[in-house]
Chains A and B, each alone.
Chain A
């Protein structure tokens, strides 16, 4: 897939066309992120407080990676622990990443979404291909967060992440390795998924105040041009960056 105009313009135009088709960005706006569950780190699929079935979606994952303090890979995998997949690594990890190809979905005229392309759904009003990814910072990084292999859309902190709620944080959204203007940013994907999204500036940067003295899940979304117009109208990329701000001593 190639962007043929300035990213900001592509992003704005494509997003505009999506909106004009009557698609709520929340309909297929689920994401993946990492969060603690019962003392372990789990990979979550959902939106807001909806913590959906990630176990059944494990076959859709393209990658699950772990990194040490120096961004050196640590052998890492997911292990199904009852209702959630949890991270299982061979050594301590400072960061985690996962990517998922959620496939092609079409919305029928009756509003039902089906896991098929436009070419297979005669009454499709819209069809999309969605790609999801997640990065978790288990520790505040000592060195800049690199672009991770396979993470076509990625949120990267600019400088240190403040450790207090309400402090401004600066993040840059990259698409295919380049800063992306016009990406939609949700600053609290778990607790406020319906907020009006921020848009990244010309340099791909969004600055906002940290929302939670606890888990922060920040999501970025872009709508990119389709590479198979007979099957789907656009490709939606959604990336999350999550990290925890420590609470006060008990």
Chain B
């Protein structure tokens, strides 16, 4: 995740209804990626060689990935959509999804217990 990407994601965050600076939980990255806070849900996206990794927390408390579902997709490229798979702890992975500069990625995370769906948008 480049610094430019982080700045752009921050701008997107500032424009969103539920991702403003007054949201609950830290907006700081914990894994070297870019954090988006939507409501009380923190979604951090990190580029790794195997694909995009996503860490999910609720008010700074890691959310067990096995209780989550979701997907990641590059905007305007529906064929890029991949399901998020639980890896360990609060980490999920979108296998094979490797954004490049100029891509905009939407990560969708669904809490399987409540049905709560959260979106995070990242621009590279």
Instruction: Mark the stretch among B1-9, B42-50, B84-92, B116-124 that contacts chain A.
Output: B116-124
Interface presence of A79 (CB below 8 A): yes
Contacts of B102 in A (CB 8 A): none
Interface presence of A138 (CB below 8 A): yes
CB pair B39 A39 closer than 8 Å: yes
Chain B residue nearest to A246 in the complex (CB)? B20
Interchain nearest-CB distance for A192 vs B (Å):
24
Q: A139-B16, A139-B17 are in contact. Are A247 and B106 (CB under 8 A)?
A: no
Interface SS of B by simple majority: loop
CB pair B16 A40 closer than 8 Å: no
**Within A70-111, which residues are at the interface with B (CB < 8 Å)?**
79, 81, 86, 88-89, 91-92
CB pair B106 A91 closer than 8 Å: yes
Tally of B interface residues using CB under 8 Å: 19
**Cα distance A40–B117 in the bound complex, in angstroms:** 8
Contacts of B115 in A (CB 8 A): 79, 81, 86, 88
CB pair B116 A246 closer than 8 Å: no
Q: A39-B116, A81-B114 are in contact. Are A92 and B21 (CB under 8 A)?
A: no
**Within A201-250, which residues are at the interface with B (CB < 8 Å)?**
244, 246-250
**Cα distance A89–B108 in the bound complex, in angstroms:** 10
Contacts of A88 in B (CB 8 A): 115, 117
Tally of A interface residues using CB under 8 Å: 17
Chain B residue nearest to A137 in the complex (CB)? B17
Interface presence of B101 (CB below 8 A): no
Q: A139-B15, A139-B16, A139-B17 are in contact. Are A92 and B22 (CB under 8 A)?
A: no
CB contact between B119 and one of A92, A246, A248 (< 8 Å): that residue: A92
Interchain nearest-CB distance for B82 vs A (Å):
15
Contacts of B108 in A (CB 8 A): 91
CB pair B22 A39 closer than 8 Å: no
CB pair A39 B119 closer than 8 Å: no
Interface presence of B40 (CB below 8 A): yes
Chain B residue nearest to A140 in the complex (CB)? B15
Chain A residue nearest to B24 in the complex (CB)? A250
**Cα distance A248–B39 in the bound complex, in angstroms:** 15
**Within B18-41, which residues are at the interface with A (CB < 8 Å)?**
18, 20-22, 24, 39-41
**Cα distance A40–B24 in the bound complex, in angstroms:** 15
Tell me which of A40, A81, A139, A244 has the highest count of chain B C-beta atoms within 10 A of its own C-beta. Answer: A40
Interchain nearest-CB distance for B104 vs A (Å):
11
CB pair B17 A248 closer than 8 Å: no
CB contact between B21 and one of A39, A244, A249 (< 8 Å): that residue: A249
**Within B61-83, which residues are at the interface with A (CB < 8 Å)?**
none
**Cα distance A212–B5 in the bound complex, in angstroms:** 35
Chain B residue nearest to A68 in the complex (CB)? B75
List 13 additional contacts besides A88-B117, A246-B20, A248-B22; criterion CB under 8 Å. Answer: A79-B115, A81-B114, A81-B115, A88-B115, A91-B106, A91-B108, A91-B119, A92-B16, A138-B17, A139-B16, A249-B22, A250-B22, A250-B24
Name 28 interchain pairs, CB-CB below 8 A, sorted by A: A39-B18, A39-B39, A39-B40, A39-B41, A39-B116, A40-B116, A40-B117, A81-B115, A86-B115, A88-B115, A89-B117, A91-B108, A91-B119, A92-B16, A92-B106, A92-B119, A138-B17, A139-B15, A139-B16, A139-B17, A246-B20, A246-B22, A247-B22, A248-B22, A249-B21, A249-B22, A250-B22, A250-B24
Give the 8 A-B residue pairs with the shortest CB-CB distance, closest first. A39-B39, A92-B119, A138-B17, A249-B22, A250-B22, A249-B21, A246-B20, A139-B17
